A and B are shown apart, each in its own frame.
Chain A
Amino acid sequence: MKIAGQTNKRIASPLIRLWRSLWVTLRHAWAKRETVSYPEIKRSLPGRWRGRIVLTRDPDGEERCVACYLCSAVCPVDCIHLQARQQDDGRRYPETFRIDFSRCIFCGFCEEACPTLAIQLTPDFEMCERSHDSLVYEKEQLLIDGQGKHAGYNFYRHAGIAIFGKAIGEGTHDTPPVDHDTNLP
């Protein structure tokens, strides 16, 4: 009896399993569709989505970018090109700022490297073009009038400012600022 039972089980269970997997897929014919019909229905993207890159301005309306070249240096595909220049008051700004989006991989390293939170990635990916040339964005196309993700932040109000009651380099753990002109080997 026992052997017969085992034999029945050995023959029956593959058939039951076969039917079960067929039944599961058939039931899904009435399930809700997961596909989103994209151009008609657009999903809302999360705020930290890494899409089209912009250059933002600080709350005073000045360019945040100080042309430090860190974004250009960190870019793994070398798609950022810029040229620094100084205003009369010594503040640096990019004379040209160019991103080749046909090479950009939207890794977000430039955003992480930026000390002034100027360069930011936005939740926008609809930037199809018919030629590579039109994917090269110049400064006019990159620079926006808003502050982007970090409203109210102004680099010059945080950096290079003396702490209350102490001048730069006088804190317990501070080292005095280095004079670049005397620091040559």
Chain B
Amino acid sequence: MSFAQWLFALANLGLVLLVLLLIGAFMIYGERRILALLQDRLGPNRAGPFGLLQPVADILKLVSKEFFVPPFADRTVYTIAPIIVPLTALLSFAVVPVSDNWWLADLNIALLYVLALSSLRVYGTMLSGWSSNSKYSLLGCLRTTAQMISYELPMGLALVGVVMLSGSFSLVEIVAAQELPFIVLQPLGFIIFLVCGIAETNRLPFDLPEAENELVAGYNTEYGGIQFAFFYLGEYLGVLLIAALATVLFLGGWHGPWLPGVVWFALKTLALIFLFFWLRTSLPRLRYDQLMDFGWKLMLPAALINLLMTAVLGLFWMEG
């Protein structure tokens, strides 16, 4: 590649990074407004028109705070851990196709890449809880690890159905194969993927790792300032990623009548994000044993049945 191409690629990456960070910040504002809407409140409405500058104020506040490492923490790991969480989420976005000719990278193993990064994400929460050396963080990190392992398995199995139908691991080809969105052919797979996605991003009703009532803030109890902001950013980027992936894998990505592909992608993703926020206002947190039961006794068998059905039906379809 020539120097100009490198420069262009870097500028592209920078642009995507900036846009994603902005979206992550404004999702926090959006969530607070939507939660308020559904709870008879007003939400942040003071900073700027409709409170739209609230994320800016929040970021300025968090950035201007002291960079503090507790004396009992493992300093190196404690500093590195919060960076892993948003980093893995941001890296995953490289393979998400936004419209029929707009993506950063079209890997032939994109789906595996995304799953691998979502597994790496566990390290962020796990190491932060471990290195904080505090009891709440430790409990939060133990829960995170168990939860992530339990829900990654059915998530991956649910995606195998999609791979079978489209015959490819590339997200671009998967979307291209969805003239009929896969949610019609794989309703069970979609539900399993969404539930596991909610669990993977530690959102309610699966937010055991940071259960406020029991564990002050779970794995990020000891964190403050910009590091705390990293965790938050990672969480919301994770939500955005799961919503975008569900759109790409099951809802037909950019496909849709009349409107341009980007708009369809954005609309579907926003609807799913709203579902995330809506679930947060509506559902109570699961108990820990319920969480494990649900993951291993319901999600995993359901994913296996879905896989088997897809395989058998696909085989008959191809033969017949």
Contact = CB atoms under 8 A, between A and B. Distances in A.
Interface string B27-39: 0000000001111
Contacts of B283: 18, 21-22
**B interface SS class:** helix
Contact of A22 (B37, B40, B282): B282
Interface string B263-294: 00000000000000011011100000000000
Contacts of B37: 29
A4 interface: no
Interface in A19-59: 21-22, 24-26, 28-29, 31-35, 37
B41 interface: yes
B216 interface: no
B59 interface: no
B42 A35 contact: yes
B41 A25 contact: no
B282 A33 contact: no
Contacts of A32: 40
A24 B36 CA distance: 14
A93 B202 CA distance: 64
Contacts of B281: 25
A88 to B, nearest CB: 57
Given A18-B283, A21-B283, A33 B41 contact: yes
A25 B40 contact: no
A33 B278 contact: no
Contact of A26 (B36, B38, B41): B38
Given A21-B283, A22-B279, A25-B278, A35 B38 contact: no
B interface residue count range (under 10 / 10 to 19 / 20 to 34 / 35 or more): 10 to 19
B42 A33 contact: yes
**A interface SS class:** helix
B38 A28 contact: yes
B41 A24 contact: no
Contacts of A33: 40-42
B107 to A, nearest CB: 36
B40 A28 contact: yes
Contacts of A31: 40
Contacts of B36: 35
A175 to B, nearest CB: 58
A32 B37 CA distance: 10
A33 B281 CA distance: 16
A30 B206 CA distance: 27
Contacts of B279: 22
Contacts of B282: 21-22, 24-25
B38 A34 contact: no
Contacts of B278: 22, 25-26
A36 to B, nearest CB: 9
Nearest to B279: A22
Interface in A52-77: none
A28 B40 CA distance: 6
A170 B55 CA distance: 76
A29 B41 contact: no
A20 to B, nearest CB: 9
Nearest to B37: A29
Interface of B: 36-42, 278-279, 281-283
10 contacts: A18-B283, A21-B282, A21-B283, A25-B38, A25-B282, A29-B38, A31-B40, A34-B41, A35-B42, A37-B42
Given A26-B278, A28-B40, 15 more contacts: A18-B283, A21-B283, A22-B279, A22-B282, A22-B283, A25-B38, A25-B278, A25-B281, A26-B38, A28-B39, A29-B37, A32-B40, A33-B40, A33-B42, A35-B36
- Please list the 7 inter-chain residue pairs (A to B) with the smallest Cβ-Cβ separation, ordered nearest first: A35-B42, A25-B282, A25-B38, A21-B282, A25-B281, A34-B40, A22-B282
